[in-house]
């Protein structure tokens, strides 16, 4: 099946500055794709190119298998920018009705669409309120409804969680899952990876206009880890455990894993974090056996994947 979103060597320059450098991106239909990078990495430029609001300097965009032409994307894409404008003197239902009219939706369908969208974003109780009276979170949901008014198959959301309180962020994640269940393809950008890690099916990390890595969340994690981390909680024999582990750093027995390093968890002095050079489970089991034979009592011994936030920081670190 052709991707919902595909870019081929997509490039955008502003004078001598290259904001986006030969971006190749493929987003599967029905997925939630987290587009992640630090501020200034090229996320907003990419979304504007995908929405047909900017013309690429080179390369091309394909949406639902169709080559994008400037001015022709509006029916395929719903775009929610980071900084959105609202018409303060309109009531909530009037705001959505106005944009539905812009898309030429006839009256009966327009009323139905407005009602359905207000229900979807949980703003039915604010139907008659003026837009200016809404909280930041409610305005975000209203602008998402605006992006959905013409029922596009692809949604582009630029920093949708910006400025939201924790409850509103949870509500946003649930809404993204609902949109995925409706068959929408959602590309959502953020510079805060933890906002997206739980809800995305795929992620791409961009830095300085270039894609660093892209793919399913678990595949990206496996690709970047290159090893494993063990978490050990020591009940008795902490000095013995530490000495045994440190003796294996760079000098392993043939049946035991090669250790990169050993350190204490700063949040819990009873926990040792062990960096491994590989993920061989048999060698990890042999290490557990060795510790038990030496009298170390453990209440926890498990692998701990490097979280996506740590990977992001490592990938986008300034040398």
The sign of the CA dihedral 59, 64, 67, 72 is: negative
Q: What is the mean pLDDT of residues 265-273?
A: 88
Domain check: are 204 and 239 in the same one? no
Query: How confident is the prediction for the chain on average, in pLDDT?
Result: 87
CATH number, domain with residue 307? 3.30.70.100
Give CA–CA dist 37/206, Å, rounded. Answer: 5
What confidence tier does 313 reach under pLDDT thresholds 50, 70, 90? low
* Integer angstrom CA distances of residue 75 from 97, 101, 148: 17, 14, 10
Domain check: are 151 and 36 in the same one? yes
| Backbone φ, ψ for residue 102 (5° rounding) | -60, -30
Q: What is the mean pLDDT of residues 153-159?
A: 94
**Over the stretch 22-50, which tens digit does the pLDDT of each residue have?**
999 999 999 999 998 888 889 999 999 99
The sign of the CA dihedral 72, 76, 38, 10 is: negative
Per-residue confidence (pLDDT) for residue 154, from 0 to 100? 96
Q: How many Å separate Cα 129 from the centre of its chain?
A: 32
Domain check: are 206 and 232 in the same one? no
Per-residue confidence (pLDDT) for residue 125, from 0 to 100? 96
Scored b (16 or more CB within 10 A) or e, 277-290 reads: eebeeebbebbeeb
Per-residue confidence (pLDDT) for residue 158, from 0 to 100? 92
Domain check: are 31 and 160 in the same one? yes
Domain check: are 22 and 161 in the same one? yes
Give me the sheet containing 185-190, strands edge to edge. 77-80, 154-158, 185-190, 32-36, 202-207, 210-216
The three-state secondary structure class of 97 is helix
Query: pTM surpassing 0.85?
Result: no
Q: What is the mean pLDDT of residues 193-203?
A: 77
Task: Give the residue among 79, 15, 9, 75 at the shortest CA–CA distance from 47.
Answer: 79
* Integer angstrom CA distances of residue 119 from 93, 115, 126, 133: 11, 6, 10, 19
Per-residue confidence (pLDDT) for residue 45, from 0 to 100? 95
Domain check: are 16 and 95 in the same one? yes
Q: What is the mean pLDDT of residues 171-199?
A: 85
The three-state secondary structure class of 119 is helix
Q: What is the mean pLDDT of residues 222-227?
A: 62
Domain check: are 247 and 204 in the same one? no
The three-state secondary structure class of 298 is strand
Domain check: are 195 and 234 in the same one? no
Domain check: are 28 and 147 in the same one? yes
Domain check: are 157 and 276 in the same one? no
Domain's final residue, options 171, 189, 217: 217
Domain check: are 290 and 194 in the same one? no
Containing structural domain, residue 260? 226-315
Domain check: are 247 and 126 in the same one? no
Question: Which of 190-194, 266-270, 272-276 has the weakest average pLDDT?
Answer: 190-194
Per-residue confidence (pLDDT) for residue 319, from 0 to 100? 44
Say which residue, 199 or 227, is predicted with more confidence. 199
CATH number, domain with residue 171? 3.40.50.300
Question: Which of 82-91, 150-159, 292-301 has the weakest average pLDDT?
Answer: 82-91
pLDDT above 70 covers a percentage of the chain that reads 89
**Over the stretch 66-86, which tens digit does the pLDDT of each residue have?**
898 776 557 899 999 987 766
Q: Render 137-173 in DSSP notation, one character per residue.
A: HHHHHHHHHHHTTT--SEEEEESTTTT--HHHHHHHH
pLDDT for residue 101 is more than 60: yes
pLDDT for residue 170 is more than 90: no
pLDDT for residue 122 is more than 80: yes
Per-residue confidence (pLDDT) for residue 127, from 0 to 100? 96
Q: What is the mean pLDDT of residues 98-102?
A: 93
Domain's final residue, options 217, 238, 264: 217
Total of domains in the chain: 2
Give CA–CA dist 50/78, Å, rounded. Answer: 10
Domain's final residue, options 177, 195, 217: 217
């Amino acid at each position: 099946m052709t991707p919902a979103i595909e870019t081929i060597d997509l490039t955008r320059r502003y004078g001598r500055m290259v904001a986006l450098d030969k971006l190749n991106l493929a987003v599967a239909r029905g997925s939630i794709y987290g587009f992640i990078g630090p501020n200034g990495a090229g996320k907003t430029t990419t979304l504007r190119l995908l929405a047909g609001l900017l013309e690429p300097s080179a390369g091309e965009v394909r949406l639902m298998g169709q080559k994008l032409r400037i001015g022709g994307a509006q029916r395929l894409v719903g775009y929610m920018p980071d900084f959105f404008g609202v018409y303060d003197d309109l009531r909530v239902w009037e705001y959505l009705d106005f944009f539905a009219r812009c898309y030429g939706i006839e009256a009966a369908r327009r009323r139905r669409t407005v009602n359905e969208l207000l229900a979807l974003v949980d703003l039915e109780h604010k139907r008659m309120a003026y837009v200016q009276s809404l909280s930041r979170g409610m305005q975000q949901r209203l602008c998402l409804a605006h992006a959905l008014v013409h029922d596009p198959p692809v949604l582009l959301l630029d920093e949708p969680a910006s400025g939201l309180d924790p409850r509103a962020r949870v509500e946003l994640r649930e809404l993204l899952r609902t949109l995925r269940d409706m068959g929408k393809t959602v590309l959502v950008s953020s510079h805060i990876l933890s906002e997206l890690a739980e809800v995305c099916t795929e992620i791409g990390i961009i830095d300085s206009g270039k894609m660093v890595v892209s793919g399913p969340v678990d595949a990206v994690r496996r690709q970047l880890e290159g090893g494993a981390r063990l978490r050990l909680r020591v009940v008795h024999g902490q000095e013995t455990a530490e000495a045994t582990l440190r003796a294996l750093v760079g000098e392993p027995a043939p049946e035991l894993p090669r250790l990169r390093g050993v350190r204490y968890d700063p949040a819990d002095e009873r926990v040792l974090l062990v960096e491994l050079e590989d993920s061989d489970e048999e060698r990890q089991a042999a290490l557990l056996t060795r510790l038990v034979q030496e009298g170390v009592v453990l209440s926890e011994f498990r692998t701990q994947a490097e979280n996506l936030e740590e990977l992001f920081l490592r990938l986008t670190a300034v040398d």
